[in-house]
Amino acid sequence: MLFILSGSSGVGKSTLCKRIMTSIPDVQLSVSYTTRPIRDGETHGIEYWFVDQSEFRRMIEQDAFLEWAEVYENFYGTPRQELVTRIDQGIDVILDVDVQGARNVMKNMPDAVSVFLLPPSLEVLKARLESRGTDKSDVVDRRFQKAQAEMAHYVEYDYTIRNGCLDQAIKEFESIIVAEHVRTKRLDHAWMSRHGLARQESNPVSSRTERERNVIS
Ligand code: 5GP
In angstroms, the CA 172 to CA 177 distance is 9
Q: Do 121 and 204 share a domain, yes or no? A: no
Q: Do 195 and 178 share a domain, yes or no? A: no
Q: Cα 81 vs. chain centroid, distance in angstroms?
A: 16
Backbone angles phi, psi at 160, to 5 degrees: -130, 130
104: containing domain:
2-186
100 alpha carbon – ligand 1 mean position (Å): 10
pLDDT for 206 beyond 60? no
34 alpha carbon – ligand 1 mean position (Å): 8
pLDDT for 205 beyond 90? no
Q: Whose CA is nearest to atom 22 of ligand 1?
A: 101
What are the tens digits of pLDDT across the range 51-103? 999 999 999 999 999 999 998 789 999 999 998 899 889 899 999 999 999 99
pTM more than 0.85: yes
Rounded to the nearest 5 percent, the helix, strand and coil shares of the chain are 50, 20, 30
What is the number of domains present in the chain? 2
Q: Do 199 and 141 share a domain, yes or no? A: no
Q: Which atom, in ligand 1's list, is nearest to the CA of 96?
A: 12
- Mean pLDDT computed over 36-45: 93
Average pLDDT, the chain: 89
Backbone angles phi, psi at 78, to 5 degrees: -95, 120
